[in-house]
Structure 1
Amino acid sequence: MTAPRIFLIHATPVAVEPINQAFARLWPEAELANLLEDALSRDLAAEGRLTAALRERFLALARYADGAGADGILFTCSAFGEAIEQCQQALSIPVLKPNQAMIEEAVAQARRIAILASFEPSIGSMSEEFHAHAAAVGKSLQLSAFVCPEAMQALRAGDAPRHDALLAEMAARIEGVDIICFAQFSMVSALPAVRAVSAVPVLATTDSAVLGMRQALTAQRR
């Protein structure tokens, strides 16, 4: 079987390195192609909602990747759930949301789930995905959200240690949950620091996404 070509579509540059590193660890045979349109996250924040124009831009990126020979597409920004669903409906190849595999894993393990984010627009989209999956599998869910925008500011300024420390400080204050889920690929560097202060399991999206894409392509090729 030839190496699959996976297109990674990014709405922010800080998501690029974490997911590429995860593929290098977990699926080095995959051929990766990175598409970055970093105005998407800025425009979403400015609009305050996912507009039709933003959805069309996502669809154009997905169609470009499909035309360039993608075997699968993985979006890496968690704030654009509805736009990614539109891409899934339009294409015949596997198209995965960044958090899809992690959400399935978390709901299978826990009922009280905390979402930890550094980009506030991710919360709405992720919450909808959590509740939709929980309803689909017949589970009740108690969801809470915690946002630390200062961590994203630190990361964009190149200060990863401060980014990690800020997220760990917030995670240490989270109580009454069974599991903590990172909302974004860009947060993965904080995983050791957050796990060190948390009394509950902490899931990050990158590893789950890589394994989820591999499973989807394996199933399609059978």
Structure 2
Amino acid sequence: MDTVVVVYTSMGGLINTMKKELSAALPDCRIVNIADDSLIREVVEHGRVTDRVRERMMHYFQAAARWDPKVIISACSSVGEVAEAADKILSVPVIRIDRAMIKKALQHGDRIGVVASLATTMEPTASYIRRLAADMGRNVQVIGRVAQGAYEANSQGRPELHDDLIRKEAEVMAGEVDVLILAQGSMAGMEASLKKDTGLPVYASPCLCVKEVQEICEVNR
């Protein structure tokens, strides 16, 4: 039986979303979840990925590799660069949850809008967009907005406030960009409504990541 391991830095609804999507796409695959919500708390507290977070993430990736999975998913964009580093040293592919989403967004133009609920996600995401664009020989403009208070609202069980804050920022930048991406996987439920509200292509990471994983598993079968 094939195995896919997902490493999370929080205990939010994204875990259930990914389990549902992966199970539907890969019904014969074993899904292993590793979650440590102290990671994102430390990133938020310090405003960056600390050495301790980096070390713990690498430990989890190394532990995940012992399952001999087809692929390891890093489900947090704030620590995406740690996943890229792990991918270079492990024998198992380690992918960022946002990779497929960003590649898809880059098909729609050179003005990429990013809506985030955590400030710590913005720079890693913007940097990754620019690097993937550069790999395609392109120079893109990244316009980002952080929905202040949205992450806290979601953590406190106030999804309506979370969605309202995200929608407000998306609508503000709608006239400035060609496409919108949702930096947190937990925003996936807003993808359809934001497309309608802004008239733009809008992408969230979970479904596109799962499609990428499905392709990796099929190629390596």
For Structure 1 versus Structure 2, the TM-score category normalised by the shorter chain is: over 0.9
Matched-pair contact (CA < 8 Å) for 2:150–2:161: yes
Q: 1:66 to 1:110 in 2, by over 3 A?
A: same
Distance (Å, rounded) in 1 between the aligned partners of 2:132 and 2:165: 30
Distance (Å, rounded) in 2 between the aligned partners of 1:32 and 1:9: 11
Matched-pair contact (CA < 8 Å) for 1:123–1:145: yes
Bigger shift: residues 144-153 or 66-75: 66-75
Distance (Å, rounded) in 1 between the aligned partners of 2:33 and 2:121: 21
The equivalent of 2:133 in structure 1 is 134
The equivalent of 2:11 in structure 1 is 13
Cα deviation, 1:44-102, whole Å, max 9, x if unaligned, reads 12222223322111110011111133221101100012211121112111211111111
TM-score normalised over the length of structure 2: 0.92
The equivalent of 2:102 in structure 1 is 103
Q: 1:201 to 1:154 in 2, by over 3 A?
A: same
**Number of residue-to-residue matches in the alignment:** 219
Aligned residue for 2:220, secondary structure, equals helix
Distance (Å, rounded) in 2 between the aligned partners of 1:218 and 1:95: 16
Matched-pair contact (CA < 8 Å) for 2:70–2:220: no
Distance (Å, rounded) in 2 between the aligned partners of 1:149 and 1:11: 20
The equivalent of 1:54 in structure 2 is 53
TM-score normalised over the length of structure 1: 0.92
Q: Percent same amino acid at aligned positions?
A: 24
How far apart are residue 217 of structure 1 and its match?
Answer: 2.7
The equivalent of 2:38 in structure 1 is 39
Distance (Å, rounded) in 2 between the aligned partners of 1:216 and 1:85: 17
Distance (Å, rounded) in 2 between the aligned partners of 1:192 and 1:151: 18
Paired letter, 1:13:
M
The equivalent of 1:210 in structure 2 is 210
Aligned residue for 1:80, secondary structure, equals helix
Structure 1 runs of 4+ off > 3 angstroms? 24-29
Q: Does 1:81 pair with 2:80? A: yes
Distance (Å, rounded) in 2 between the aligned partners of 1:152 and 1:28: 32
**Structure 1: which 5+ runs fail to align?**
none
Matched-pair contact (CA < 8 Å) for 1:112–1:141: yes
Aligned residue for 1:92, secondary structure, equals coil
Bigger shift: residues 25-34 or 150-159: 25-34
Aligned residue for 1:213, secondary structure, equals helix
**Structure 2: which 5+ runs fail to align?**
none
Distance (Å, rounded) in 2 between the aligned partners of 1:165 and 1:49: 26
Distance (Å, rounded) in 2 between the aligned partners of 1:186 and 1:5: 23
Distance (Å, rounded) in 2 between the aligned partners of 1:168 and 1:22: 24
